[in-house]
């Protein structure tokens, strides 16, 4: 009876210590460049910002840069924010869709359609940097609880295949 | 008892660490600046021949909640900057609105006064006149704007086909609030005769928008 309990508590302790150590790693944050930077498991997250809302309700977008300094492929799998920020967060990609020849009235230099789609993951090759930016990858915030006001900050949680969930403060800017 | 206590201790130590780490992360705020600025070159092109759009009109909700017909043409001697988008668009439309606003703000006051902005919703199911007004007044507090929302798809298509604009609503359940909309990202510049005299491609930054509008203002009224 005693032995299993002891083993149990020891492994709890070990797990706790490991967690604590990894937390410390996660939070070896704050680069001197002025922007928030968070490091976790060989990932460097930085330049996290969201555009201030134009309206009292609606959708928002957040952008983050993720450097994969490890020697293995990483994947961004999920995103979330507190319900006080938005109902849900999704990984999205803005893409251009070429207008097919069957479409009507194609002008010279036929404008493409801009489209947005949810993606299930974004792969970040070893040593590569994922730079989310307007017109590309972004985290879409659905049904904002309150307008995002310039100067505010909220926490974005990103789930990675290897590094697990990493949180970063996101700064709201006018544009 | 002892092991239980120990794990409790460990747990509380952990929570202290967690709290500390959270506050550390919160502490190091800061802004990152995006540098998309340029030297203000003229961007885009003049469609040839210019497409006539002025005979089309859409309900304008900027002055009347019920919507008054607004013909798609600029005020005499001015330019009407027309964009087709939707309000639930978090990425492309706000970027374009912000760039357009920045471009107009860079113009000399006498030129800026000749600019009007029209936003045509391609998502008439979700977008209302009120919300269009709210949206435009955020980006263009000092510019005359037109909140254009068609009464039905046929009316909208009548206008988008004149402009050569494509748009597509993702299939969704009736009453759904989150669905995707694809649309042409181009910004159109229309003169006072109702002709599209310039097209500014998606992704054009403020300084280029300013240079382009100044250029179009110059060339649009030289020969007319």
> What pLDDT shows up at residue A28?
42
Question: In sequence order, which residues have a C-beta less than 8 Å from that of residue A34 and are 6 or more positions away?
Answer: B30, B31, B32
Q: Do B92 and A116 touch (CB under 8 A)?
A: yes
Q: Which of A161, A116, A162 is nearest to A139 (CA)?
A: A116
Low-confidence ranges of chain B (pLDDT < 70): 1-39, 223-224
Do A36 and A155 meet the contact criterion of CB atoms below 8 Å apart? no
Q: Do B45 and A108 touch (CB under 8 A)?
A: yes
Q: Do A111 and B7 touch (CB under 8 A)?
A: no
> What pLDDT shows up at residue A2?
38
Residues of B whose CB is below 8 A from A107 = 47, 51, 164, 199
- Nearest chain A residue to B23 by CA distance is A27
Do B190 and B196 meet the contact criterion of CB atoms below 8 Å apart? yes
Q: Nearest CA of chain A to the CA of B69: how many Å? A: 24
DSSP state of B74: P
CA B132 – CA B96 distance, rounded (Å): 15
CA B189 – CA B40 distance, rounded (Å): 17
> What pLDDT shows up at residue A15?
53
Low-confidence ranges of chain A (pLDDT < 70): 1-35, 98-111
CA A58 – CA B132 distance, rounded (Å): 12
Report the complex ipTM.
Answer: 0.72
> What pLDDT shows up at residue B27?
37
> What pLDDT shows up at residue A131?
97
Q: Do B102 and A175 touch (CB under 8 A)?
A: yes
> What pLDDT shows up at residue B14?
44
> What pLDDT shows up at residue B174?
87
Q: State the count of interchain CB pairs (< 8 A) between A and B.
A: 180
Q: Is A16 helix (H, G, I), strand (E, B) or coil?
A: helix
> What pLDDT shows up at residue B45?
92
In residues, how long is chain A? 175
| pTM for the full predicted model | 0.77
In degrees rounded to 5, what are phi and psi of residue B23? -70, -30
> What pLDDT shows up at residue A31?
37
List the single residue in B17, B47, B135 with the smallest CB-CB distance to A54: B135
Does the N-terminal peptide bond of residue A14 adopt cis geometry, omega within 30 degrees of 0?
A: no
Q: Which of B59, B37, B50, B58 is nearest to B79 (CA)?
A: B50
Q: Do A19 and B14 touch (CB under 8 A)?
A: yes
Q: Do A105 and B161 touch (CB under 8 A)?
A: yes
Q: Do B95 and A153 touch (CB under 8 A)?
A: no
Token reading at B3: 């092991």
Question: In sequence order, which residues have a C-beta less than 8 Å from that of residue A97 and are 6 or more positions away?
Answer: A112, A113, A114, A115, B182
> What pLDDT shows up at residue B39?
60
CA A61 – CA A140 distance, rounded (Å): 5
> What pLDDT shows up at residue A103?
41
> What pLDDT shows up at residue B121?
97
In degrees rounded to 5, what are phi and psi of residue B125? -70, -40
Q: Do B199 and A109 touch (CB under 8 A)?
A: yes
List the single residue in A13, A26, A108 with the smallest CB-CB distance to B10: A13
CA A96 – CA B143 distance, rounded (Å): 30
> What pLDDT shows up at residue B83?
98
Helix spans in chain B (H): 2-27, 92-106, 109-112, 129-139, 153-163, 206-220
> What pLDDT shows up at residue A160?
98
> What pLDDT shows up at residue A79?
98
Give A36's Cβ-side CA count (13 Å radius). Answer: 27
Put simply, whether A28 touches B (Cβ < 8 Å) is no
Do B29 and A29 meet the contact criterion of CB atoms below 8 Å apart? no
Residue B118 β-bridge partners? B82, B146
> What pLDDT shows up at residue A19?
52
Residues of A whose CB is below 8 A from B168 = 113, 115
Do B209 and B102 meet the contact criterion of CB atoms below 8 Å apart? yes
């Amino acid at each position: 009876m005693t032995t299993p309990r002891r083993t149990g508590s020891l492994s709890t302790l070990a797990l706790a210590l490991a967690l604590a150590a990894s937390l410390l790693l996660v939070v070896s944050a704050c680069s001197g460049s002025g922007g928030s930077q968070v490091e976790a498991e060989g990932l460097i997250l930085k330049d996290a910002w969201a555009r201030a809302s134009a309206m009292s309700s609606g959708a928002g977008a957040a952008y983050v840069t993720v450097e994969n300094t490890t020697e293995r492929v990483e994947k961004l799998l999920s995103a979330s924010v507190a319900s006080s920020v938005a109902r849900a967060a999704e990984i999205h990609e803005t893409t251009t869709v070429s207008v097919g020849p069957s479409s009507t009235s194609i002008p010279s230099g036929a404008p493409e359609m801009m489209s947005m789609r949810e993606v299930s993951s974004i792969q970040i090759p070893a040593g590569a940097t994922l730079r989310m930016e307007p017109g590309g990858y972004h985290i879409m915030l659905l049904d904002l609880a309150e307008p995002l006001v310039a100067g505010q900050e909220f926490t974005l949680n990103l789930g990675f295949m290897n590094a697990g969930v990493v949180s970063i403060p996101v700064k709201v800017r006018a544009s | 008892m002892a092991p239980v206590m120990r794990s409790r201790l460990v747990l509380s130590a952990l929570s202290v660490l967690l709290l500390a780490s959270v506050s550390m992360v919160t502490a190091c705020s800061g802004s990152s600046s995006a540098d998309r600025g340029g030297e203000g070159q003229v961007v885009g092109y003049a469609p040839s021949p210019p497409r006539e759009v002025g005979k089309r009109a859409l309900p304008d909700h900027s002055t009347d909640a019920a919507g008054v017909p607004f013909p798609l043409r600029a005020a005499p001697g001015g330019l009407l900057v027309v964009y087709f988008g939707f309000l639930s668009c978090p990425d492309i439309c706000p970027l374009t609105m912000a760039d357009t606003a920045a471009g107009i703000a860079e113009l000399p006051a006498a030129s800026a006064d000749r600019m009007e902005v029209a936003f045509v919703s391609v998502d008439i199911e979700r977008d209302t006149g009120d919300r269009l007004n709210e949206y435009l007044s955020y980006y263009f507090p000092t510019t005359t704007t037109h909140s254009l929302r068609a009464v039905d798809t046929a009316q909208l298509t009548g206008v988008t086909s004149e402009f050569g604009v494509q748009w597509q609503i993702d299939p969704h359940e009736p009453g759904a609030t989150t669905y995707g909309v694809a649309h042409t990202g181009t910004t159109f510049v229309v003169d006072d005769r109702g002709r599209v005299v310039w097209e500014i491609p998606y992704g054009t930054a403020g300084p280029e928008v300013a240079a382009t509008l100044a250029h179009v203002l110059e060339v649009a009224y030289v020969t007319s």
